[in-house]
Amino acid sequence: MSRLVASTAAFFALVSLTASTRALADDSSDPGQQGARPIGEWSEEPLFVPSSENFTVELRVGAYRPDLGSSFSSYFGGDLGPLIAIELDYHLLQIPYVGPLQVGARVGWVEWNGQATTTSSSTNVGGTGMSMIPVTVLASLRIDGLARHLSLPLILTPKLGLDFAYFQTGTSGYTQADGWSVGLDWGAQIALELDFLDRRSARRLDEEWGLNHSEIFFEIFGSTMGSFSDRQLPLGTSLAWAAGLGFTF
């Protein structure tokens, strides 16, 4: 009898031990239990790694009036263009906590229109026009450290370059003169980075298209085109402006 009681007690003890072991195993596989798996394994979104930034492109429109004095005003009045241009900059060197040093090029187009008159009687003899295609090679410093490290979405960009401009003048559809002017170019730009408006959409653009950032900008600039030689038409300006959209990719 005592042997039967001992055997029965041993059997129930074995069943109880087996049930306890199975319960512990079930608890350890529950992802809701603290310490069940590494915390990072259950994060809702994967870690975002931005794509590399190599280029910045700008779509520009602005006002431009060459410093030709009264002769320009007599033909074209207050015509300011507009000047339409596109600029592409390559990120040559990344300066820590400051931003990339860039080299790039810009090409644009501008046209002014007025009325031609005879010198003797000031009689209107038809329309007159002047067009210019400026090409600029430049270096710039894109100071984006405020946006990258301080979450202040402002970018400052000083620029310095060399202008080459082809111009053409004509009256009533006939070309009267054309040529080239060369000079130095300078600019100072401030931009507002737009990522903060919708960071999730900005991240998606980077993941799917490699578009890191977008911005709106305003720039003041000037040029000394034509000052290198008396044989060149002085097409430079002491002050002009441009605004537009910029994209970094």
pLDDT tens digits for 153-191?
999 999 999 999 999 998 866 778 899 999 999 999 999
177 and 133: one domain?
Answer: yes
Give the lowest-confidence range in 125-129, 176-180, 221-225.
Answer: 125-129
In the predicted model, what is the mean pLDDT of residues 126-132? 87
The CATH number covering residue 158 comes to 2.40.160.20
Given a cut of 60, is residue 122 above it in pLDDT? no
Residue 47 is assigned to a structural domain of this protein: no
214 and 117: one domain?
Answer: yes
CB 165 within 8 A of CB 133: yes
114 and 174: one domain?
Answer: yes
Domain limits at 68? 55-248
pLDDT class of 14 with cuts at 50, 70, 90? very low
- Torsion (CA) 143, 149, 151, 156 in degrees, nearest 10: -10
Domain tally for the chain?
Answer: 2
Kindly state the percentage of the chain with pLDDT values over 90. Answer: 58
34 and 145: one domain?
Answer: no
Residue 50 is assigned to a structural domain of this protein: no
Residue 33 is assigned to a structural domain of this protein: yes
Given a cut of 70, is residue 25 above it in pLDDT? no
Mean pLDDT (the chain, rounded): 83
110 and 192: one domain?
Answer: yes
32 and 131: one domain?
Answer: no
133 and 180: one domain?
Answer: yes
Residue 178 is assigned to a structural domain of this protein: yes
Residue 212 is assigned to a structural domain of this protein: yes
Residue 49 is assigned to a structural domain of this protein: no
**pLDDT the model gives residue 191:** 98
The two three-digit tokens of residue 75, written as one number? 């033909």
pLDDT class of 124 with cuts at 50, 70, 90? low
Given a cut of 50, is residue 75 above it in pLDDT? yes
227 and 175: one domain?
Answer: yes
Residue 64 is assigned to a structural domain of this protein: yes
> In Å, how far are 76, 99, 129, 154, 231 from 145, measured between CA atoms?
43, 6, 45, 9, 44
**pLDDT the model gives residue 35:** 43
Residue 226 is assigned to a structural domain of this protein: yes
85 and 172: one domain?
Answer: yes
CB 222 within 8 A of CB 239: yes
CB 64 within 8 A of CB 237: yes
**pLDDT the model gives residue 2:** 44
200 and 89: one domain?
Answer: yes
**pLDDT the model gives residue 13:** 45
pLDDT class of 39 with cuts at 50, 70, 90? very low
